[in-house]
A and B are shown apart, each in its own frame.
Chain A
Amino acid sequence: MSEPHPRRAAVTGIGVVAPNGTSTESFWKSTQEGVSVLDRITREGCTDMPLRVAGEVRRFDAPEAVEERILVQTDRFTHFALATADSALEDARLGRADTGEDPFSVGVVTAAGSGGGEFGQRELEQLWGKGSRYVGPYQSIAWFYAASTGQISIRRGFKGPCSVVAADEAGGLDALAHAARAVRRGTDVLVAGATEAPLAPYSMACQLGYDELSTEPDPNRAYRPFTGAACGFVPAEGGAVLVVEEETAARERGARVRAVLAGHAATFTGASRWKESRQGLARAIAAALQEAGCAPGEVDAVFADALGVPEADRAEALAIADALGAHGGKVPVTAPKTGIGRGYCAASVLDTAAAVLAMEHGLIPPTPNVFDVCHDLDLVTGRARPADLRTVLVLSRGLMGSNAALVLRRGADAS
């Protein structure tokens, strides 16, 4: 008799709304083609700030994706979350009839870095412009980091464990890890991910204080990590939601296991202390590999954090070398986010979605706008590179000092 299988967390559904595509298919097409959609910011009230370039989501039709009753009480970041949750559940073939049988078996976990800034600004303008009676009651819930988790669970009737990770940009990976832990502890399904909408005047003003922000006005030059021309990062909106469920149960119900969340670890090294992030990120990688039972040499590709700040890029390149040894200089590294921007917590979930798609297609997407790499990394630039990808490492760091690493295994190999 074999030993009982430990419960493992499988990815069975992906939902994406990104600057380069509002469906998983269009996102992957643009990502693997290496298309950059970074552009001058066009959103109303945002065009006269020192931050000029971002990854805007321009083709998202909120009233099409979300019913009016929910629209009036939610911010754009929650519209993205509701739309991507719907797509992910549809992709996983989990309909209302399936999840309705045992609502306590389905939970939700999201991460958010900036909350509902656009909604909040509108209501605060009412407060200071007209008076407290002019602030709508939904302000009490719409701006809040937890809004997306709450609205997804209410809208779909999910009553399993629900939570929000407020852990900086790396929180996107932490939310996926939290989902994996919930599955191991006994919950059948977790809807997990992160979406952000930081391109509104108030939210942008908040970001202007970050030294790491790129103020370069040329979209092709604004975000070029790992090069001598690195001048900071470009923000983005959108995000992704994954359906994470117990692998055996997923296979039994005939779901397609797209990947397994095999290992994760997170560390903290202090706000903007990029030199120190080397040690923190290396430690996170080592611990994530250990949890996954994965030797450094088994890593077939790395999706880098790629902040675009020279000191931070150097720390990341060194962290990869520290954690993977000689393999660190040979393993293909990519940062497709240079084509869409960095969506704070959402960035690492979009990277995870891209990593799953990369394993399925046997293709490492390139790093747009990046050419002359000045670190000892095999960065995939120009065009996508075919590769047999069984194991992929996704890295993320936050401006406030969080570092995280996630190890993904290919779904087809995982059983």
Chain B
Amino acid sequence: MSDRITVEELSELMKKAAGVTVAPEELQQHYDTGFDVLGIDSLGLLGVVGELEKRYGTPLPPDAERCRTPRQFLDLVNGSAVAGA
């Protein structure tokens, strides 16, 4: 995973895995809004994590599916060893 996971990719996966449509620009404005408020439940976030792990062929940090906001999530997955690998 050489590239950072972008807000565009997160937006795309939220739609694919959880059926929730939030445009990237809108998601950027809701960086600190809870996933639950955006309509993503815990299984939905687990689905996003699963999609990313399949896409990049490598596991995300164990707490990835526990992140409460887009900012927490992107900080965690992009700041982790995985992102620099």
Contact = CB atoms under 8 A, between A and B. Distances in A.
Contacts of A67: 19
B39 A69 contact: yes
A6 interface: no
A69 B47 contact: no
Nearest to A69: B19
A326 interface: no
Interface in A54-80: 67-73
B19 A71 contact: yes
B47 A138 contact: yes
A137 B50 contact: yes
A140 B53 CA distance: 19
Residue among A69, A133, A141 with most chain B CB within 10 A: A69
Interface in B22-51: 39, 43-44, 46-47, 50
Contacts of B74: none
Contact of B47 (A68, A70, A71, A137): A137
Nearest to A138: B43
A134 B54 contact: yes
B18 A133 contact: no
Contacts of A71: 19
Contacts of B20: 68-69
A136 interface: yes
Given A133-B50, A134-B54, A141 B19 contact: no
Given A133-B53, A133-B54, A134-B54, A72 B19 contact: yes
B21 interface: yes
Contacts of B19: 67-73
Nearest to A139: B43
A73 B54 contact: no
Contacts of A136: 17, 47, 50
Given A140-B43, A141-B43, A68 B21 contact: yes
Contact of A137 (B46, B53, B54): B46
Nearest to A72: B19
Contacts of B53: 133
Contacts of A140: 43
B21 A137 contact: no
Contact of B43 (A68, A73, A133, A134): A73
Contacts of B18: 69, 72-73
A67 B43 CA distance: 17
B50 to A, nearest CB: 6
Contacts of A73: 18-19, 43-44
Contacts of B47: 136-138
Interface residues of A, number: 14
Contacts of B39: 69
Contacts of B46: 137
Contacts of A70: 19
Nearest to B43: A137
Contacts of A69: 18-20, 39, 44
Interface string B44-69: 10110010011000000000000000
A241 B50 CA distance: 35
Contacts of B17: 72, 136
A214 B21 CA distance: 44
Nearest to B15: A68
A213 B41 CA distance: 41
Nearest to A142: B43
A139 to B, nearest CB: 9
Nearest to B21: A68
Nearest to A66: B19
Nearest to B51: A136
Nearest to A130: B54
A237 B17 CA distance: 27
Contacts of A72: 17-19
Nearest to B39: A69
Contacts of B54: 133-134
A138 B45 CA distance: 11
A72 B47 CA distance: 11
A203 to B, nearest CB: 23
A67 B20 CA distance: 9
A136 B48 CA distance: 9
A70 B17 CA distance: 11
Interface string A232-258: 000000000000000000000000000
Nearest to B53: A133
Given A69-B18, A70-B19, A72-B18, 7 more contacts: A69-B20, A69-B44, A73-B19, A134-B54, A136-B47, A137-B44, A140-B43
The 6 tightest CB contacts between A and B, nearest first, are: A72-B19, A68-B19, A137-B46, A137-B43, A69-B19, A137-B47
